[in-house]
């Protein structure tokens, strides 16, 4: 396993909710990353994040890790959930909240 894969694996497996995004939760640097952060904040979910703009190796590594071409990428309990469109659709349908609750992750609000 390469160093970047080990880094990604560690973040995904050791955080209940982890978001690979462009920018930071306080300063998203793309609209899609911003949407996912807004949803997670609205639900009151604690999450970790990594800014893929800080490293080409991370930006390309996360795409290879999941075989998913876009960023952001959301993980819950080590499982890849999806990108912005999937997260938004799941949130609007109430499925994201259900997934968090089934995983034992506290949701402070529901849509």
Q: Domain extents for the chain?
A: 3-102
SS (H, E, C) 12-63: HHHCCEEEEECECCCCECCHHHHHHHHHHHHHCCCCEEEEHHHCHHHHHHHH
State the CATH architecture for 3-102: 3-Layer(aba) Sandwich (3.40)
In this predicted structure, the answer to whether residue 111 has a pLDDT above a threshold of 60 is: no
Average pLDDT over residues 30-42: 97
Torsion of CA 75, 42, 97, 68, to 10 degrees: -30
Average pLDDT over residues 67-80: 96
Describe the crossing of helices 84-93 and 31-43 by its angle, rounded to 10 degrees.
30
In this predicted structure, the answer to whether residue 21 has a pLDDT above a threshold of 90 is: yes
Residue that has been written with the tokens 């071409």 in this structure: 69
What pLDDT, on the 0 to 100 scale, is given for residue 108?
Answer: 85
What pLDDT, on the 0 to 100 scale, is given for residue 1?
Answer: 62
């Amino acid at each position: 396993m390469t160093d970047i894969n080990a880094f990604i694996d560690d973040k995904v497996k050791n955080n209940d909710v982890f978001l690979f995004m462009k920018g930071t939760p306080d300063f998203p640097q793309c609209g899609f990353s911003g949407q996912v952060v807004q949803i997670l904040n609205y639900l009151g979910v604690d999450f970790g994040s990594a800014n893929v703009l800080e490293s080409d190796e991370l930006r390309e590594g996360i795409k290879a890790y999941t075989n998913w071409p876009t960023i952001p990428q959301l993980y819950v309990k080590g499982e890849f959930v999806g990108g912005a469109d999937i997260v938004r659709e799941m949130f609007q349908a109430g499925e994201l909240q259900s997934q968090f609750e089934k995983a034992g992750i506290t949701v402070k609000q529901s849509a």
